[in-house]
């Protein structure tokens, strides 16, 4: 049995220590608990220990959990998985954030589908920073155009960038990749002042990400334990 209380405590300490080492304040860094494949009981434990922001990768599973916790109005739900067009409405109607926008068409759909009584959907553009053919996300050279398109859409709020770098063999290599994102993020922020979120860092690379200016780390395994996937 996983000790979610202890794990959350340890992760918060890792974040604080990494921030301290590079002269940042830990309050600048949001901890997103990635609860994909985990039961609502695990999420409830995290909530009982002060966690409020959760990330889900699968639309249907995420919506079920959001509905389960519907009686609470203090939770913030982030969609962080690959998004297909035919699922966009569920994201637009249920989530507060979407981290994985990598084409104008899906942004336009979310903009049309966002209910009028909800605040704008917070959007992060996903960057395929390691240039992997199999990965989603745009290349950095495509960022200017996609950001311009999104910034025109009234029901979306462009908030920043997200990336899932390929695993690296050392912290130095992780940092080299994250620096490229930091640079792109600073340029984007200079153009769009509302851009304030750099979503990078997972269980195995959160320290490097924080060193490079991450404002939101997405942590699954270190909080909830290893995931078991149904085949």
The CB-nearest residue to ligand PLP is 220
From CA 43, how far away is CA 51, in angstroms rounded? 9
- Position among 124, 127, 202, 212 found at the interface with ligand PLP (CB under 6 A): 202
- Position among 34, 147, 150, 208 found at the interface with ligand PLP (CB under 6 A): 34
- Position among 127, 140, 164, 177 found at the interface with ligand PLP (CB under 6 A): 164
36 binds ligand PLP (CB under 6 A): yes
150 binds ligand PLP (CB under 6 A): no
Residue (148 or 166) nearer to ligand PLP, CB: 166
Residue (137 or 213) nearer to ligand PLP, CB: 137
62 binds ligand PLP (CB under 6 A): no
92 binds ligand PLP (CB under 6 A): no
Task: Answer whether 96's CB lies under 8 Å from 75's CB.
Answer: no
**145's tokens:** 């155009």
∠ CA 230-30-114, nearest 5°, is 70
Residue (92 or 164) nearer to ligand PLP, CB: 164
Query: Site size for ligand PLP, by CB under 6 A?
Result: 13
**38's tokens:** 């985990």
Q: H/E/C letters for each residue in 124-174?
A: EEEECCCCCCCCCCECHHHHHHHHHHHHCCCCEEEEEEEECCCCCCCHHHH
**Which range in 113-121, 135-143, 145-153, 199-207 contacts ligand PLP by CB under 6 A?**
199-207
- Position among 80, 83, 123, 156 found at the interface with ligand PLP (CB under 6 A): 80
137 binds ligand PLP (CB under 6 A): no
Which residue's structure tokens are 């509905």? Answer: 67
Beta bridge partners of residue 163, listed in sequence order: 127
46 binds ligand PLP (CB under 6 A): no
65 binds ligand PLP (CB under 6 A): no
**56-60 — which CB contacts under 8 Å span 24+ positions?**
56/80, 56/81, 57/81, 57/82, 59/83, 59/87, 59/90, 59/91, 60/87, 60/90
Contact residues for ligand PLP, defined by CB under 6 A: 34, 36, 57, 80, 164, 202-204, 218-222
């Amino acid at each position: 049995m996983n000790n979610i209380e202890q794990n959350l405590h340890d992760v918060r300490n890792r974040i604080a220590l990494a921030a301290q080492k590079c002269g940042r304040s830990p309050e600048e860094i949001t901890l997103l608990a990635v609860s994909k494949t985990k039961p609502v009981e695990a999420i409830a434990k995290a909530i009982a220990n002060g966690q409020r922001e959760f990330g889900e990768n699968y639309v249907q599973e995420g919506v079920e959990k959001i509905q389960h916790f519907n009686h609470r109005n203090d939770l913030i739900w982030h969609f962080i998985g690959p998004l297909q067009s035919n699922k966009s409405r569920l994201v637009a109607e249920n989530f507060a954030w979407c981290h994985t926008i990598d084409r104008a068409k899906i942004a336009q759909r979310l903009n049309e589908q966002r209910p009028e009584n909800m605040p704008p959907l917070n959007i992060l553009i996903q960057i395929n920073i390691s240039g992997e053919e199999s990965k989603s996300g745009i290349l950095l050279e495509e960022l200017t155009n996609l950001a311009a398109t999104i910034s025109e859409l009234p029901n979306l709020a462009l908030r920043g960038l997200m990336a899932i770098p390929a695993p690296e063999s050392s912290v130095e290599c992780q940092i080299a990749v994250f620096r490229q994102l930091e640079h792109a993020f600073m340029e984007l922020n200079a153009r769009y002042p509302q851009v304030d979120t750099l979503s990078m860092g997972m269980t195995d690379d959160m320290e490097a990400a924080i060193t490079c200016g991450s404002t939101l780390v997405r942590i699954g395994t270190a909080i909830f334990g290893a995931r078991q996937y149904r085949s």
